[in-house]
Amino acid sequence: MRSVGVEEELLLVDPRTGEPRALSAAVLAIAAKQSQGRPHAFTKELQSQQLEFGTCPRTAMGELAAEIERCRAEAGQLAEEAGAAVVALATSPLPVGPALNDGKRYRWIQEHFGLTALEQLTCGCHVHVSVTSDEEGVAVLDRIRPWLSVLLALSANSPFWQGHDSGYHSYRSRVWGRWPSAGPVELFGSADRYHAQVRDLVDTGVVQDEGMIYFDARLSSRYPTVEIRAADVCLDASTTVLVATLARALVDTAAREWREGRPPAGHGIGVLRAAAWRAGRSGLEADLLHPLTMRPTAAERVVQALFHHVEDALDENGDLAHARKALDDLLSSGNGAHVQRRLLRRHGSLAAVVAECVRRTQEGVR
């Protein structure tokens, strides 16, 4: 069974006002002190209002859920000691200014990308799924391309930007798409061709190194995994686990298709970008582009098509019943963007939205 690891980026906010706080250095100093030199799960990101954690590789989704819950709780405790709170929102609902972290790498990014870098206070969810080789990994990348927009629609959790409703379910995906190496990619066909294209991108000098290859899904440069990067950070940890479960099943299904000699869909980058835009714009509340036909189709039908596509893999992994219930619950309650807008209608205040989302972040897996 393939192992799965998750990286989540969280916002650090003022517990009273809900405004982002540039306190990642303080939080990480507390984490280092408490760990007494032992490795811990937390790290900094581009902006100092962010805190990232990564789980260990897990094969049992129940264990992954428990670790995500533990990391979120620990992040909350560390932030509290620094005078902040953590919240799983992919963009800040309240206005915020840039506060880039110190370091040579971050200074280079700011100098080269200007406002694009300064506005990148966005939080994503990255799912690592183990693969047996780069060849298998690239075969997987070629075959999961059409389905990544559905993961974005499920996870969408960023409707607000600088104090206003963006009109999108995932405005993070639109801001993130400003990086020159971000988004969907063409078919690679082989590991050699993948690595050649990565080298070509780095050699342009437009990106600093392989770490800035921001494809929606890529081979990890650190681990023997495919890293699926399309999702917003999810408001509820249960949605994170669902996205991770579906991601593993997508990798399993794609690897099986490759072994059986079934070719990947030949959709061009243009229609894949349109599918991602559609998913970011309307989430689960209007049509999505169907991954097989790239034609407008009711969102629930598209989600069910994803589930059907990976159903055998879910069953083989022992995840079928839990994934079915989690998906039904999400379709019933709505994604994070839907919840945030509902909270704003109820409370009339973006600060109250953040406060309620802080509470939900700490609730754990339901």
CATH classification at residue 200: 3.30.590.20
Residues 55 and 172: their CA atoms lie apart, in Å, by 23
Quote the DSSP letter at residue 211.
Answer: G
Number of structural domains, the chain?
1
Q: Nearest 5 degrees, angle CA 220-CA 132-CA 137? A: 50
The domain in which residue 267 lies consists of 4-363
Position 364 scores a pLDDT of 66
Position 100 scores a pLDDT of 94
Position 342 scores a pLDDT of 98
Q: Is the dihedral of CA 300, 7, 360, 365 positive or negative?
A: positive
Cα-trace Rg, the chain: 19
Residues 75 and 86: their CA atoms lie apart, in Å, by 7
Position 47 scores a pLDDT of 95
Identity at 12, one-letter amino acid code: L
Position 142 scores a pLDDT of 98
Position 218 scores a pLDDT of 98
Please answer whether residues 314 and 179 qualify as being in contact, where contact means their C-beta atoms are separated by less than 8 angstroms: no
**HSE-CB of 21 using CA atoms within 13 angstroms:** 20
pLDDT along the chain (366 residues), means of 10: 98 97 97 91 96 98 97 97 98 95 93 95 98 98 98 98 98 97 96 97 96 97 96 97 98 98 97 98 97 98 98 98 97 97 98 97 72
